[in-house]
Structure 1
Amino acid sequence: MTTETITETWVLACSSTQIPENGGACTLVNGEQIAIFNFTRRGEWFATQNLCPHKQQMVLSRGMIGSTNDEPKVACPFHKKTFSLQTGACLSGDEYEIKTYPVKIEDGMVFVDVSM
């Protein structure tokens, strides 16, 4: 029997003041573009890949955030495909999926767990 150990790897992404309220911004973490969202209306933070898998464009950080049936989501600003900010599942009925990351805020700084 093999036991796997998963270690959290929190990486400083940016200052919380760099992310607009009820919006997102892109930051580079370990060479990967990460979209960080400050969902003020829900009192929550989210992080996902910035790449929209539909047309392979780095645009999700500029997408509109909202909720459907209490599910937080982001819509691609170009083609309106929507993705869950919690699971990464496409909510538009397509087979696409995005990577999501845990986020924490400490002393005004945004940290993303990139171990996933």
Structure 2
Amino acid sequence: MRTWFYACTVADVPANGGVCVKYGDTQIALFHFARRGEWYATQNLCPHRRQMALSRGMIGSQDGEPKVACPFHKKTFSLSDGRCLSDDQECSLQTYPVKVEQDRIYIGVDVEE
């Protein structure tokens, strides 16, 4: 079952950047890709070196695919589906749906019933 939690306001997230929000003990990286008019959310934990850093990563596009690069290791991941876009295809990110309602950002998380 999916539940939507209030993460922050639109003004809390820098244009073309990210922030870290928490849902319980889970850290989620929330990105406002303003150049594309899109919002994305992924796990904040970089699976490559296991550091909570992705919310501070640089976002951009690769062959039209929105991506984030880890600020420490430069591994790149798709913001759409979490797959690794770098040479190491063994790691990927969990992604979350995002919706904006009246300047409020909500992130969808799956919870057990």
Query: How far 1:61 moved relative to its partner?
Result: 0.2
Q: Does residue 33 of structure 2 align to residue 49 of structure 1?
A: no
Q: State the match for 2:11 in structure 1.
A: 17
Q: State the match for 1:114 in structure 2.
A: 109
Q: Does residue 8 of structure 2 align to residue 32 of structure 1?
A: no
Question: What is the TM-score normalised by the length of structure 2?
Answer: 0.94
How far, CA to CA, are the matches of 2:24 and 2:38 in structure 1?
Answer: 23
Which of 61, 74, 80 is the matching residue for 1:86? 80
How far, CA to CA, are the matches of 1:44 and 1:86 in structure 2?
Answer: 10
SS in 2 for 1:114: strand
How far, CA to CA, are the matches of 2:48 and 2:63 in structure 1?
Answer: 23
Structure number having the greater strand percentage: 2
Question: What is the TM-score normalised by the length of structure 1?
Answer: 0.91
How far, CA to CA, are the matches of 2:104 and 2:80 in structure 1?
Answer: 21
SS in 2 for 1:54: coil
Greater Cα radius of gyration, structure 1 or 2: 1
Structure 2: segments with no counterpart, 5+ residues: none
Q: Alpha carbon RMSD of aligned pairs, Å?
A: 1.0
SS in 1 for 2:11: helix
Structure 1: segments with no counterpart, 5+ residues: 1-6
Query: How far 1:48 moved relative to its partner?
Result: 0.3
Alignment length (residue pairs)? 110
Q: Partner amino acid for 2:86?
A: S
Q: Could you list the runs of 4 or more consecutive aligned residues of structure 1 that deviate by over 6 angstroms after TM superposition? A: none
